[in-house]
Structure 1
Amino acid sequence: MTFPKRFSNLPEYAFPRLRRLLDCHGPGGAPLRMSIGEPQHAFPPWVAGIIAEHAQEFGKYPPNDGTPELLSAISDWIARRYRVIVEPDSRISVLNGTREGLFNAALALCPEEKAGHRPVVLTPNPFYQVYSVAALAVAADPVYVPATAETGFLPDYGALAPDLLDRVAIAYLCSPSNPQGAVADKGYWADLLRLAEKHDFQVFADECYSEVYRDDPPAGALEVADEIGADPERVLVFHSLSKRSNLPGLRSGFCAGGPQSMSRIRQLRAYAGAPMPLPLQRVAEKVWADEAHVEENRRLYRRKYEIADEILGDVPGYRPPEAGFFLWLPVEDGEAAALETWRMTGVRVLPGAYLSREVAGENPGKGYIRVAMVAPEQELRHGLTRLRGCLFG
């Protein structure tokens, strides 16, 4: 058989790669997984009751675009959180988690050609791996832009050459960023949106970690677009309940943007998207409307920031994350550090290079490990202490 060549150079996904690195070695202590960002805090206690109450609706085909109640709940949340009015019937699409949307939005919206050439998709480096796969799927050229300490761990898209920017169709940005926990402020968003206006591309704002933060709520792309009067079609935002509400298995998210973009995304989902089951949509309706559990979740993560600062604060190069629940720790070699930590302590972390691409001989994640702070408090303290003793003395 003949298979498409565009995926031939796709690297192995991070977690199978990590298993291949570590699983042939025994752990040096009781295993503690700090490699994957799977929230462990309790989700709202009433979730199971809502599913049971609406269980008979598993026998119905759910609306592909989302129930009117769910779309309204999301619209209301956007208005409370960002003070922006987004019409639920024309500017929001329900998703089965944001990964689906971040991928399918590129299929729906990326043109076949830009400025007489193959289109370009910009992505931070390191990055969430679906961005580059989406670029390859639409036959675009992915361009990996360093997001390093020198750039505040956010990509400097404005420093790219004008002729390259003219070819850009989509620019992905994650804020708060995964893996570094950096936050794009209003000035950064405004500059990016103006750059998108100048060179006629769309911004895909991955804001999945927006509700887990240390101090002030991170600014949002829709909020800034509204403030500066940007074209509503210029930006799409992506959110989910996975981190905000500790419900990664619910697979409930949304994207919001201009009506033309949403129309195209909804049309694609009518053919290629799996509707979210009705009982789960009923849960999502209630979860988006409730903030009490989100505030409690944020309190728990703030305590974890304090623990990380206490244990690692004097490590050279340690940078307290502004938001999210990852530590991005500098080491000499991330892969060697992950293997040593596993073999000596049983703590499982992710090499930063597994989240990055090598460009011009440099991989910006090679000198880092990513540590997920999702474990219960005492377990987290124990894991970070073991990690500190193993790698930093």
Structure 2
Amino acid sequence: MNPLLSRLQPYPFERLKQLFAGVTPNPEFPAISLGIGEPKHATPGFIKDALSANLGALAAYPATAGDLSLRTAFTDWLKTRYSLALDPATQVLPVNGSREALFSLAQTVVDPTASPQPVVMSPNPFYQIYEGAALLSGAMPYYVASVPARNFAVAWDSVPEAVWARTQLVFVCSPGNPTGAVMSLDEWKRLFDLSDRHGFVIAADECYSEIYFRDEPPLSGLEASVKLGRPDFRNLIALTSLSKRSNVPGLRSGFVAGDAAIIKKFLLYRTYHGSAMSGAVAAASIAAWGDESHVVDNRAQYRAKFAAVTPLLEPVLDVRLPDASFYLWAGIPEVWAGDDEAFARALYAQYNVTVLPGSYLARDTAHSANPGRGRIRMALVAETAECVEAAERIVRFVQSSPQGRG
């Protein structure tokens, strides 16, 4: 067996299952889960119609690169959303959801024969696929803390020059999971300057880009690249998905875009990896990328939900409205002494509300303590009434502390 598999850590939801083992939640309260970031809003009917109308495509092998109509749907959306002009033949590829592409991109980019061992860098906290992709590519993960005092901006300047010199791939997530922070143009400039100096590839995970709470939509890495005089997107690949934008997590559909030279190598890898998108899924995807009305409605639902929930929680938790995404990244009260696991377990036991301990989404490092410790992630994916009910229970739970600890 591949010995690198032994280096993988349990996924956060497996750890949560273990944390709750043996706990019987209070039967007075129906279960409410804020633990998993799975969209729960209704899938638009026109997307389902496009999928079912094209089931005949299941009788043919799909092309790994997708057909031109699919790739053009991607570039048309990039033109509408960001005023960017990309070549559908060379600068975009379909992927089976951003998770699959984040993993396989690392296998394409990283040279495991490099000496010293190559580095794959990510924010801390982070989406665990970044870590797994790094480990299974033969690289050493390196975690860079997000700074609460700077709206959870990643402290790139804290990384030693010797680490940058070994870095081959940097994962960024903007809007961030779990913090909801959006990278500024100045942050992108800093990262591009470092990439130019050291030659590493930037993988920009942008799957939450369409759920935002400010008037100005989040800046894409591709958009930043053009604004900063890099129209060729050198060493940059952006990844996005329909899962959150269009409420179709089961469709497993997204695309990557950026540096044509990397796209070419990624296509070669994917041809062998067997990552082609079904023709039926492609048809549904074209329909979804071509419509914005359902996206506006989806965003309005999240805005109303966060407007109802955040003020309830602000008096009892260290939390505020994020820039974007559908998470609240909340600090727990000092009485819990930073024990986010105990907080989550007691909340589940007493009020049957599931939240994810923040420490499960981050790591202790030689240069910083686990930045998720003492925080919880709440995914506001359920209907507004259910999220409000969960918030009200959390308020009651916190107000009963420390007596409520159990």
Is the TM-score greater than 0.5?
A: yes
CA RMSD of aligned residues (A): 1.5
Q: Which runs of 5+ in 1 are unaligned?
A: none
What is residue 373 of structure 1 aligned with on the other side? 380
| Residues 158 and 192, structure 1, Cα contact 8 Å, conserved in 2 | no
What is residue 339 of structure 1 aligned with on the other side? 345
Change (3 A) 1:117 1:391: same
What is residue 17 of structure 2 aligned with on the other side? 19
| Residues 174 and 206, structure 1, Cα contact 8 Å, conserved in 2 | yes
1:183-198 aligned within 5 A: 183-198=182-197
| Residues 94 and 255, structure 1, Cα contact 8 Å, conserved in 2 | yes
Matched residues in 1 for 2:292 and 2:399: separation? 39
Deviation at residue 74 of structure 1 after TM alignment: 0.5
Deviation at residue 57 of structure 1 after TM alignment: 1.4
| Number of aligned residues | 390
Superimposed CA distance per residue, residues 11-68 of structure 1 (whole angstroms, 9 cap, x where no aligned partner):
2111111111114211122111110011111121112221221111111111211121
Q: Secondary structure at the match of 1:169?
A: strand
Q: Secondary structure at the match of 1:304?
A: helix
Deviation at residue 297 of structure 1 after TM alignment: 0.4
Superimposed CA distance per residue, residues 291-341 of structure 1 (whole angstroms, 9 cap, x where no aligned partner):
000000000010111012221122352222111001111113211111011
Is 2:355 the partner of 1:356?
no
The amino acid across from 1:349 in the alignment is V
Deviation at residue 151 of structure 1 after TM alignment: 4.2
Q: Which runs of 5+ in 2 are unaligned?
A: 333-337, 401-406
| Residues 208 and 244, structure 2, Cα contact 8 Å, conserved in 1 | yes
Superimposed CA distance per residue, residues 120-174 of structure 1 (whole angstroms, 9 cap, x where no aligned partner):
1111111000111111112111101111314431321233111211111111110
Matched residues in 2 for 1:199 and 1:304: separation? 43
Percent identical across equivalent pairs? 36
Moved more, 84-93 or 272-281: 272-281
Change (3 A) 1:278 1:312: same
1:1-393 aligned within 5 A: 3-28=1-26, 29-112=29-112, 116-215=115-214, 216-230=216-230, 231-331=232-332, 332-360=338-366, 362-392=369-399
Moved more, 144-153 or 365-374: 144-153
Matched residues in 2 for 1:224 and 1:237: separation? 11
| Residues 51 and 282, structure 1, Cα contact 8 Å, conserved in 2 | yes
TM-score by length of 1: 0.96
Superimposed CA distance per residue, residues 97-142 of structure 1 (whole angstroms, 9 cap, x where no aligned partner):
001111111111122356x522111111110001111111121111
| Residues 175 and 184, structure 1, Cα contact 8 Å, conserved in 2 | yes
The amino acid across from 2:370 in the alignment is N
Deviation at residue 392 of structure 1 after TM alignment: 4.5
Matched residues in 2 for 1:391 and 1:314: separation? 10
Deviation at residue 371 of structure 1 after TM alignment: 0.6
Matched residues in 2 for 1:99 and 1:171: separation? 15
Q: Secondary structure at the match of 2:7?
A: coil
Matched residues in 2 for 1:240 and 1:273: separation? 19
Matched residues in 2 for 1:158 and 1:58: separation? 50
| Residues 120 and 168, structure 2, Cα contact 8 Å, conserved in 1 | yes
Deviation at residue 273 of structure 1 after TM alignment: 2.9
| Residues 124 and 154, structure 1, Cα contact 8 Å, conserved in 2 | no
Change (3 A) 1:7 1:52: closer
Q: Secondary structure at the match of 1:286?
A: helix
What is residue 404 of structure 2 aligned with on the other side? none
Q: Secondary structure at the match of 2:142?
A: strand
Superimposed CA distance per residue, residues 237-257 of structure 1 (whole angstroms, 9 cap, x where no aligned partner):
000000011110000011111
Matched residues in 2 for 1:135 and 1:13: separation? 15
| Residues 201 and 234, structure 1, Cα contact 8 Å, conserved in 2 | yes
Q: Secondary structure at the match of 2:38?
A: coil
Deviation >3 Å, runs of 4+? none
